Amino acid sequence: MHLQARVRHKTTVQYATRPDLPRLAYRKLKGKGPGVVFLPGYASNMGGLKAEALEEFCRSLGHSYLRCTTVFTIILVGSSMGGWLMLLAALARPEKIAALVGIATAADHFVTAFNSLPIETKKEIEEKGSWSFPTRHNEEGSYTMSLDFLKEAENHCVLQSPIPVSCPVRLLHGMKDGDVPWHVSMQVAERVLSKDVDVILRKHAQHRMSEKDDIKLMVYTIDDLIDKLTTLG
């Protein structure tokens, strides 16, 4: 397997239109199955290091890749909040999902974080209608989300009951993650019903897991799943 440092021939941005909803931007690489779909995290985009590394990896093997494919069953890769969405997608369309790979999976994260705030702080947020909280991941030093977003998220929590997902699941998490504790991945592993579940912890990795060795681990994990699924198929 050869993984280039950069994608030499990037796919072009396309847009999926939805009635009365914002357009969704995506990049698609045509190829064979199983396809790979990458879901980025909150306030992240499809131009990040993990997304580009996956595109180059899929290109090298001739597999379909979407940064979202419908022809084949797919290996769904979710980073941070994308990991939460990954689980929801697997619940909604189990027949389309061949395997799941979560990277610092932030299942229920914003709801859990909000519920852990002091009562006075939650009241202030409810009165204001939005929540601003510190982050190291942008120049402003904070993220702001609406109360409506939080309330909607409460309808999609997955950690309070068994998660009826039966496909192979791989969960990667950094033990130095200062945003989403690695214990969340352990909770996901305990909740999913699949018998084929691995949790891989990197002792010094942080939340984004975008260092060279982190990305290498992600690619090797997906490569192993493709071999497994191809053999089974």
Residues noted as catalytic: 80, 177, 207
Q: Both tokens of residue 86?
A: 């990954």
Q: Which residues, 6+ apart, have CB-to-CB distance to 111 below 8 Å? A: 150, 153, 154, 157
The Cα-based distances of 113 to 136, 191, 230 in angstroms read 17, 20, 40
How far, in Å, CA of 191 to CA of 177, rounded? Answer: 21
Cα distances from 59 to residues 11, 25, 53, 221, in angstroms, run 10, 20, 10, 16
Check if the beta carbon of residue 37 is closer than 8 Å to that of residue 82: no
